[in-house]
Amino acid sequence: MKRRIFLKNSLIGITGLPLVSANAFNFLKENSEEYFFKLSLAQFSLFSPIMNKQIDPYDFAKIASDEGFKGLEYMSAIYKGGLMSFGNQKKSFGLKEAKEFAKKSKAKSDEFGLENLLIMVDGEGDLSNEGMKKGMKSVENHYKWVDAAHEMGCHSVRVNLYGSSNEKIWLENSIRNLNKLCEYAKDFNINIIIENHNSLSSNADLLLKVIKNIDYDNFGTLPDFGNWCLEFDQEIIRTVYSRFGNKDKNKDDSDFPTMADACKSSFDKYEGMRKILPYAKGVSAKSELFDEKGDNITFDYKQMMQIVKDSGYRGYIGVEFGGFGSNLSAIEGIRATKNLIFKSAKILQ
């Protein structure tokens, strides 16, 4: 059976998924001590409605609190623009604007009694490009987010290793620029963490070479369940992104391309998780598509959760609903992901 037909059949009735009620969320919130983790919400889960101006980005803490989360993971591009931002790029966003964002976000998180964990930084220049001058500019572009994270009480800033497609050049520049950024961040007591975020950064063997050449203790990883694509079909990925920015909840998306459709080759996601989890300072529980039973279609959630538990990781797990190709709303996708995490955790060995 072709994958597109399989996905369409699997998605039949998806909007009727058994989503967790508010009372059930309160129960889970009050009894979360029985699990080996706490749950945080990644702001990327709300990216589409925020960019489509259906949600104010500063309502993030309230929404997370209403849904029973304890921690917050922010997304820089929502405030600055520059990544799939659909024309929302700010003309100027420097240290002043970053500190204003930090002050307002900290007030909101305090109001709802939530913990600020990290900022996911995108669109600030490629840290793995060739060239000392270009690399240093990208490093310096991240400084304002380190300052903001410190003022918010976060423990980490997540960065990307995009740039050269040449493995040797990618390695050399990734190592040099991450060391420079860690040097700056250490005085703020902020970790610099790298996510497997597709392309060469999702080659876990290459990423381990980077990790083992970082000279600072304030460095680690943010393993993501789903981001293990080494090469994308660029035409399909553009189509996926275009739909994501103009989502019509009344339109059937079951025949629309997904991130999984766009991936031409990938690293073994289970093996990749095992390799980079020993360095984790956070974990992203990515989700995109669910079947009629509420299970993730593109990989085995129970297996992923078992790998996380076996690694000895005992921190926050961040719910990150992508929603590419899904008919679920952001809130429905968040609830479905949270429900699946608890469902999987209850049957782990």
Full DSSP string of 313-347: --SEEEEEE--TT--S-HHHHHHHHHHHHHHHHTT
Q: What average pLDDT does range 320-326 have in this prediction?
A: 85
Q: Is the dihedral of CA 291, 295, 300, 301 positive or negative?
A: positive
Q: Are 104 and 62 in contact (CB under 8 A)?
A: no
Helix (H) and strand (E) counts in the chain: 15, 10
Per-residue confidence (pLDDT) for residue 6, from 0 to 100: 44
Per-residue confidence (pLDDT) for residue 7, from 0 to 100: 46
Q: Is 180 left (phi over 0), alpha (psi -120 to 50) or beta?
A: alpha
Per-residue confidence (pLDDT) for residue 77, from 0 to 100: 93
Q: Are strands 229-232 and 219-222 parallel, antiparallel or unpaired?
A: unpaired
Q: Is 153 left (phi over 0), alpha (psi -120 to 50) or beta?
A: left
Residue 2 pLDDT level (bands cut at 50, 70, 90)? very low
To the nearest whole percent, how much of the chain has pLDDT over 90? Answer: 74
Per-residue confidence (pLDDT) for residue 84, from 0 to 100: 54
Which of the pair, 248 or 125, is modelled with greater confidence?
Answer: 125
Q: What average pLDDT does range 337-346 have in this prediction?
A: 97
Buried b (16+ CB within 10 A) or exposed e, 301-333: bbebbbbbbebebebbbbbbbbbbbbbbbbbbb
Element holding 216 (H helix, E strand):
none
pLDDT value at 316 more than 80 = yes
3-state class (DSSP) for residue 159: strand
How far from chain centre, in Å, is Cα 337? Answer: 13
Among residues 306, 322, 313, the alpha carbon closest in space to that of 276 is found at 313
Indicate whether this model's pTM tops 0.85: yes
Residue 92 pLDDT level (bands cut at 50, 70, 90)? confident
CA angle 298, 299, 303 (to 5 degrees): 165
Per-residue confidence (pLDDT) for residue 21, from 0 to 100: 46
Which of the pair, 239 or 302, is modelled with greater confidence?
Answer: 302
Per-residue confidence (pLDDT) for residue 12, from 0 to 100: 37
Euclidean distance between CA atoms 68 and 338, whole angstroms: 10
Q: What are phi and psi of 126, to 5 degrees?
A: -85, 125
Joined tokens for residue 348: 């782990």
pLDDT value at 281 more than 50 = yes
Per-residue confidence (pLDDT) for residue 246, from 0 to 100: 57
Residue ranges of domains in the chain, CATH in brackets: 3-345 (3.20.20.150)
Residue 338 pLDDT level (bands cut at 50, 70, 90)? very high
Residue 300 pLDDT level (bands cut at 50, 70, 90)? very high
Per-residue confidence (pLDDT) for residue 265, from 0 to 100: 96
Residue 260 pLDDT level (bands cut at 50, 70, 90)? confident
Which of the pair, 184 or 7, is modelled with greater confidence?
Answer: 184
Which of the pair, 260 or 12, is modelled with greater confidence?
Answer: 260
Q: 5-19, 27-41, 128-142 — which is least confidently predicted?
A: 5-19
pLDDT value at 14 more than 80 = no
Per-residue confidence (pLDDT) for residue 259, from 0 to 100: 76
Q: Are 231 and 35 in contact (CB under 8 A)?
A: no
Per-residue confidence (pLDDT) for residue 262, from 0 to 100: 87
Euclidean distance between CA atoms 40 and 65, whole angstroms: 10
3-state class (DSSP) for residue 253: coil
